[in-house]
């Protein structure tokens, strides 16, 4: 399940069939937002409970509509709010994307209006229930309205992005520009009204959207093959095709073959045959990387594993990328199988840096542990220790490691990682 980096999940459960994770960072932030000098502990507790329920219901609105695409949404409450992650089996139309974005705030508005109706119709005499009702109305209505502002990554900003003209990349930049202008106006208004937190949030959103604009400019400086490759690694096949259609004359034949394979365009299989042939080059990992890219775009994880296992030359960075994609979009088993295929390679050259094999092994251990194959998970974890894994913080905090920790041999491998982490911490950074 997606979490903030270094997150600490404190609760996992299912609602309406959706997996939900609550990270401690969410409760901390919500608690801070509900505290002010002189506030009663009772009111802070009421605030935290209502805010948590409100955000969860908001995300359930997204998840219910997202499930109609055939995806299996996952909900995470972390940091400043909630996140509904989902990977649809087929590209989603812009209208469906708008429906998914609007569903969350819509649920909050409906609930808020229902609470207003209760407040008008019922004479609430209890101070406790009066406080609960007023806070509930504020959280559901105010937060939903704010979420509909045309600022990325708020739901209103995502809706605006889908309604703007142009290609997906153009819409992203245009939406970011509108977001910056809107957030600047809100920051100015918040400062004049004395809403310091609102001004800080607006500044945060401004910075995030300025970064989006800068990254888009940097991407434009890449050649078109690199841009298409980035989109395909990210799983944005339609965006890659759109860009390739605009600038097909600048694409090299190998990238055209990849786009043909992710189809339509390779009815006779000629493009795939060329990719498979290039992947057999014994000293050039580019061929196998392009074949992995094509299989990743098609989400053909079994073919990915076979390429990783058998390619004469392989780029380990590409394996890390495709393994992460498999974990996010295919699940734990495909990720574990891809990593295991890499670990089973013998006598074949590898490229792209010494740090990747250890991370592949660690990801493989997490995958096997998650699907209950603990012996294979422990063996992969031990390989990670042998290959140089040094992130002790991740080992100790990762919930996917929990099934492996009681097993004989885990502590010994952890000790190797701990010793390496301490040695690195004692090593002074290189000079300028």
Residues 135/141/146/152 CA torsion (nearest 10 deg): 110
In a domain, 277, yes or no: no
Comparison of pLDDT for 426 and 228, the residue scoring more: 228
* pLDDT at position 217: 80
Residue 3 has pLDDT above 60, yes or no: no
Task: Give Cα 319 distance to the centre of its chain.
Answer: 18
In this structure, are 88 and 193 located in the same domain? no
Same domain? 138 vs 205: no
69 and 129 belong to one structural domain = yes
Residues 115 and 173 in one domain: no
- Mark whether 155 and 143 lie in a shared domain: no
- How far, CA to CA in Å, does 371 sit from each of 94, 175, 357, 367? 35, 40, 21, 7
In a 10 Å sphere around its CB, with 0-12 CB exposed, 13-18 middle and 19+ buried, how is residue 213 labelled? Answer: middle
pLDDT in tens, 378-420: 999 999 999 999 888 889 888 888 899 999 999 999 999 999 8
Please report whether residue 428 resides in a domain: no
- Structure confidence at residue 183 (pLDDT): 93
Same domain membership, residue 142 and residue 72: yes
The answer to whether 244 touches 259, Cβ cutoff 8 Å, is yes
Distance of alpha carbon 1 from alpha carbon 15, whole angstroms: 15
Nearest 10 degrees: Cα torsion 288, 294, 216, 83: -110
Residue at token pair 């004359």:
249
Whether 389 is covered by a domain: the verdict is no
Q: What is the mean pLDDT of residues 303-315?
A: 90
Q: State phi, psi for 81 to the nearest 5 degrees.
A: 180, -150
Which band of pLDDT confidence, cut at 50, 70 and 90, is reported for residue 252? confident
- Distance (Å, whole) CA 323 – CA 304: 9
* 74, 163: one domain: no
Residue bearing the bigger pLDDT, 208 or 230: 208
DSSP letter, residue 399: G
Decide if 360 contacts 331 (C-beta within 8 A).
no
- Assess whether pLDDT exceeds 80 at residue 305: yes
The reply to whether 34 and 159 lie within a common domain is: no
Band of pLDDT at residue 297, cut at 50, 70 and 90 = confident
**Of 390, 392, 380, 291, which Cα lies nearest the Cα of 332?**
380
The helix (run of H) or strand (run of E) holding residue 82 is strand 81-85
In the block, residue with structure tokens 């490229």: 351
Taken as a whole, the chain contains a residue count of 432
Residue pLDDT, tens place only, 68-83 = 988 888 888 888 788 8
Tens of pLDDT, residue by residue over 144-155, are 998 999 999 899
- pLDDT (0 to 100) of residue 349: 59
Residue identified by tokens 């469906």 is 96
Asked if residue 242 is part of any domain, the answer here is no
**H or E element: which one contains 84?**
strand 81-85
The reported pLDDT for the residue numbered 428 is 54
Q: Are residues 124 and 164 in the same domain?
A: no
pLDDT the model gives residue 245: 73
Segment 84-125, tens digit of pLDDT: 888 777 778 889 999 999 999 999 999 999 988 887 887 766
381 near 405, Cβ under 8 Å? no
> Could you tell me the pLDDT band of residue 56, with boundaries at 50, 70 and 90?
very high
Evaluate whether residue 136 is within a structural domain. yes
- In Å, what is the CA distance from 166 to each residue of 216, 229, 271, 426? 15, 21, 30, 52
The boundaries of the domain holding residue 186 are 151-221
Final residue belonging to a domain, choices 119, 148, 177: 148
Residues 134 and 195 placed together within one structural domain of the fold? no
Quick one: 10 and 56 in the same domain?
Answer: yes
Structure tokens belonging to residue 261: 């394979």
Mean pLDDT computed over 161-189: 90
261/307 Cα distance (integer angstroms): 15
pLDDT at 134 over 60: yes
By CB neighbour count within 10 A (0-12 exposed, 13-18 middle, 19+ buried), where does 407 fall? middle
63 within 8 A of 86, measured Cβ to Cβ: yes
Chain mean pLDDT for the chain: 84
pLDDT exceeds cutoff 70 at 54: yes
**Residue scoring higher pLDDT (87 or 272):** 272
Which of these three, 173, 205, 221, is where a domain ends?
221
In a domain, 202, yes or no: yes
Domain match, 37 and 131 both: yes
pLDDT at 342 over 50: yes
Q: What's the confidence (pLDDT) of residue 347?
A: 65
Structural domains counted in the chain? 2
Asked whether 122 and 132 are in contact (CB, 8 A), the reply is no
Tokens of 246: 């605009």
Of 46, 21, 26, which Cα lies nearest the Cα of 35? 46
Q: Specify the pLDDT at position 111.
A: 92
Cβ-based neighbour number of residue 188 at 10 Å = 12
Domain presence at residue 126: yes
């Amino acid at each position: 399940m997606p979490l903030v980096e270094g997150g600490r999940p404190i609760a996992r459960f299912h609602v309406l069939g959706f997996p939900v994770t609550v990270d401690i960072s969410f409760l901390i932030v919500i608690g801070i937002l509900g505290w002010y000098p002189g506030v009663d502990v009772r009111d802070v507790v009421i605030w935290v409970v209502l805010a948590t329920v409100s955000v969860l219901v908001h995300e359930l609105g997204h998840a219910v509509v997202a499930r109609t695409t055939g995806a299996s949404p996952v909900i995470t409450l972390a940091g400043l709010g909630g996140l509904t992650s989902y990977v649809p089996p087929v590209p989603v139309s812009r209208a469906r994307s708008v429906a998914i974005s609007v569903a969350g705030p819509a649920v909050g508005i409906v609930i808020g209006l229902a609470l207003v109706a209760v407040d008008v119709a019922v004479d609430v005499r209890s101070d406790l229930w009066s406080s609960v009702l007023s806070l509930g109305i504020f959280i559901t209505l105010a937060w939903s309205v704010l979420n509909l502002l045309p600022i990325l990554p708020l739901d209103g900003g995502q809706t605006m992005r889908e309604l703007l003209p142009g290609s997906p990349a153009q819409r992203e930049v245009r939406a970011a520009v509108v977001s910056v202008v809107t957030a600047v106006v809100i920051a100015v208004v918040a400062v004049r009204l004395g809403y310091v937190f609102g001004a800080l949030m607006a500044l945060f959103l401004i910075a995030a959207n300025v970064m989006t604009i800068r990254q888009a400019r940097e991407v434009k400086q890449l050649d078109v093959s690199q841009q298409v490759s980035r989109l395909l690694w990210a799983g944005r096949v339609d965006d890659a095709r759109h860009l390739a259609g605009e600038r097909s004359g600048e694409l090299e034949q190998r990238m055209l073959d990849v786009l043909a394979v992710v189809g339509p365009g390779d009815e006779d299989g000629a493009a795939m045959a060329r990719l498979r042939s290039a992947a057999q080059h014994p000293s050039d990992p580019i061929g196998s990387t392009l074949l992995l890219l094509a299989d990743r775009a098609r989400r053909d994880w079994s073919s990915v594993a076979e390429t990783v296992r058998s390619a004469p030359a392989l780029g380990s960075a590409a394996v890390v990328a495709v393994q992460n994609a498999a974990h996010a979009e295919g699940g734990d088993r495909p990720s574990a199988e891809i990593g295991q295929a890499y670990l089973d390679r013998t006598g074949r050259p590898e490229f792209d840096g010494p740090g990747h094999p250890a991370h592949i092994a660690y990801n493989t251990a997490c995958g096997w542990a998650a699907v209950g194959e603990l012996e294979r998970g422990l063996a992969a974890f031990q390989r990670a220790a042998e290959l140089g894994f040094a992130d002790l913080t991740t080992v100790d905090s990762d919930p996917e490691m929990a099934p492996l920790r009681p097993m004989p041999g885990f502590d010994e491998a952890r000790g190797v990682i701990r010793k390496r982490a301490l040695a690195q911490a004692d090593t002074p950074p290189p000079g300028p």
